[in-house]
Chains A and B, each alone.
Chain A
């Protein structure tokens, strides 16, 4: 397993501004993921962030809107840019600690609750 922390835990932001969410893991992991969880909806994968390569975005999500950094094996950031009220959601990072033949599943951080006014 892995212990994951996120900052901030919550924020209220004005339309048009940007917010950077930080994700810290207590161990080195190759694969990190960013999800969005909107009320009444399932978790939606935004992008996969592997250290040493560009993030891979899912359909409907673009780098200009959600730039991601992955400077090392224990840390990642997700920026929500030029926010609108539709971006109000919970943003979660997750990691998959297993590597190679050791299959593992994903473990989640506590989430960042974002409200855009």
Chain B
């Protein structure tokens, strides 16, 4: 079993919809959980950074961590075409492990 599993997509949703992106993991030692957004031909940009379980909200973005289920989510409300990108989850114990990324397309 891979340490971090992430559906590569692509995921296409209409503008204004709520987007749900998810990752599962196997290493219970992970303490820090991140979501990065990567536009085409750009480096990953940190979106959300959370420690341990719970929710964190920043504008239209909400990150959820459920350590009991080893499952993390990123929700995007009122999605915009500018949200079209690849979203990478990442988790850290003594090093960061990345998911493969989910390609998201927001349809105008």
Contacts and interface: CB of A to CB of B under 8 A. Distances in A.
Interface of A: 1, 4, 6, 40-43, 45, 92, 103, 105-111, 113
27 contacts: A4-B43, A6-B43, A40-B8, A40-B100, A42-B88, A42-B100, A43-B44, A43-B88, A43-B98, A45-B95, A45-B96, A103-B32, A105-B32, A105-B34, A105-B46, A106-B46, A106-B96, A107-B46, A108-B36, A108-B43, A108-B44, A108-B45, A109-B43, A110-B43, A111-B41, A111-B42, A111-B43
Contacts of B44: 43, 92, 108
A41 B92 CA distance: 18
Chain B CB count within 10 A is highest, among A43, A45, A107, for A43
A6 B42 CA distance: 11
A40 B44 CA distance: 14
B81 to A, nearest CB: 22
B97 to A, nearest CB: 8
Nearest to B44: A108
Closest 8 A-B residue pairs measured CB to CB? A108-B43, A42-B98, A43-B98, A110-B43, A42-B100, A111-B43, A108-B44, A105-B49
A90 B47 CA distance: 21
Interface in B5-56: 6, 8, 32, 34, 36, 41-46, 49, 51
Contacts of A45: 95-96
A4 B42 CA distance: 12
Nearest to B101: A42
Nearest to A106: B96
Given A4-B43, A40-B100, A103-B32, 5 more contacts: A1-B46, A43-B44, A45-B95, A92-B44, A108-B46
A92 B45 CA distance: 12
B4 interface: yes
Interface string B78-99: 0000000000101010011111
A92 B101 contact: no
A43 B90 CA distance: 10
A60 B97 CA distance: 16
A24 B73 CA distance: 33
